[in-house]
């Protein structure tokens, strides 16, 4: 039996829908983060930027218990996954969203916590 309820999954799904439906600047990660913050605010989703979970573990956003990490380029997929695993090890993180224009996927859970991938390129199609 998991301790995560349907509301945790719905919160992450709503956040994924808001971000995934927004045309985000794909040329600059800081600009993309600013636009994601604007989209979350416009949708009435309370969030914090760059929350320090532990030294070196700082997701781009924390919306309730949903950690949001934005990756536009550069990192190897295995490095990104390890980073998400570290975030999921923290009690404060109830689920995780990877927001990216990279071609990759995630398992349904990471560290027993719901995981989702949000494609930034889809809104531009």
User: What's the number of domains the chain is made of?
Assistant: 1
Domain that holds residue 105: 6-124
pLDDT confidence band for 120 (50 / 70 / 90): confident
When the pLDDT of each residue in the chain is averaged and rounded to a whole number, the result is: 87
CATH number at residue 31: 3.40.960
Residue 54 per-residue DSSP state: B
Question: What CA–CA distance (Å, rounded) separates 91 from 120?
Answer: 28
Asked whether residue 1 is assigned to any structural domain, the reply reads no
Asked whether residue 95 is assigned to any structural domain, the reply reads yes
pLDDT at site 101: 87
pLDDT confidence band for 114 (50 / 70 / 90): very high
Q: What pLDDT digit, counting tens, does each position of 21-46 carry?
A: 888 988 888 999 999 999 999 999 99
pLDDT at site 98: 95
Asked whether residue 98 is assigned to any structural domain, the reply reads yes
């Amino acid at each position: 039996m998991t301790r995560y309820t349907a509301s945790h999954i719905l919160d992450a799904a709503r956040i994924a829908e808001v971000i995934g439906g927004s045309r985000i600047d794909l040329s600059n990660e800081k600009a993309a983060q600013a636009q994601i913050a604007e989209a979350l605010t416009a949708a009435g989703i309370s969030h914090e930027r760059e929350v320090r979970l532990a030294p070196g573990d700082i997701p781009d956003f924390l919306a309730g218990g949903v950690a949001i990490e934005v990756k536009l380029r550069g990192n190897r997929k295995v490095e990104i996954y390890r980073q998400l695993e570290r975030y999921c090890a923290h009690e404060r993180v109830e689920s995780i969203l990877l927001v990216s224009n990279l071609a990759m996927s995630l398992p349904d859970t990471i560290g027993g916590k719901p995981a989702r991938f949000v494609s930034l390129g889809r809104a531009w199609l």
